[in-house]
Chain A
Amino acid sequence: MASEMCVLIVDDFSIMRGIIRRMLLKEFGTNNIFEAEDGITAWQILSSEKIDLVLCDWNMPNMTGLDLLEKVRAHKDFSKVPFIMITAEGKKENVIEATKKGVSGYIIKPFTAKDLRKKLSPIFQTGE
């Protein structure tokens, strides 16, 4: 299942999308990846592709990660898709807010490949 998982990386900074992409390839052998620079583009990809995991930044132009999370959780087709926030917003109130809206996990930037592996391993092992 792990190698078949399709991941959507949402971040307005291309360098961060590239770093996450390389970590996913190295840690999980995953190269089935879509990228979006904001929530609006991410929603379009979600609507047209079969996405198994969303890794999403918080602060982005046009549509924030939190708004995207809310939209994803409200849609019957995507409500169960694992949604991990990867963000520099590490304040308690941010984590609580995202948890209330149904986030599956939270990774605070900066992070290492080990941090990513620890958080995503259960998802890649079960495929859900």
Chain B
Amino acid sequence: MNLKYIEPFIAATIHVLETMAFTQATAGEAYLKDDQTAMGDVSGIIGMTGKESSGTLSVSFTKNSILAIVSNMFGDEITELNNEIKDAVGEITNMISGQARQKLEEMGKSLDAAIPTVITGINHSIKHITTYPIIAVPFSTDNGDFTIEICLEEEGVSLRRKIGRETP
């Protein structure tokens, strides 16, 4: 996976949250993630497939961040991780995937997406559908943090080298 393929996901994340939840999200530095433990309390995961590669996008929110985001989306304050929150996480994941895939298509990489799934719970696991490197990008908002993870087949070796980690 080339690092240039990460940028559309970062831009899509910022755009989706700004447009649908009036939330400003700031991206931190991307890093290689070595384990499957989610960096949040609720995660949306979506599979992406194309002719030349496939992969996974996940979005993991801390409780505080997602409660604020969904409260903004709904226009009502939500205080618990309920089904509406899970629903919203799925839709946010879907929209980030869609926006990013639109940009990736312009870059010559066409991917289709499946229907997202949502997992909740402390220290839940995220299983990406490929064994290629997982790139995590942390985001901060005024009400808490969240993290996106991208795992795409193809050119994984070059990405791992770019980030300064040894290829297994």
Contacts and interface: CB of A to CB of B under 8 A. Distances in A.
Contacts of B91: 13, 15-16
Given A12-B115, A13-B88, 20 more contacts: A13-B94, A14-B84, A14-B87, A15-B87, A16-B91, A19-B73, A59-B113, A59-B114, A87-B98, A88-B95, A89-B98, A90-B101, A91-B102, A91-B105, A92-B105, A108-B98, A108-B102, A109-B20, A109-B95, A110-B16
A29 interface: no
A15 B16 contact: no
A88 B105 contact: no
B64 interface: no
B65 to A, nearest CB: 16
Most chain-A Cβ atoms within 10 A of its Cβ — which of B20, B75, B91?
Answer: B91
A116 B40 CA distance: 33
Interface residues of B, number: 25
Residues of A in contact with B, size category:
20 to 34
Nearest to A91: B105
Contact of B20 (A87, A92, A108, A110): A110
A85 to B, nearest CB: 12
A111 B110 CA distance: 22
Given A59-B115, A61-B115, A112 B19 contact: yes
Nearest to A90: B102
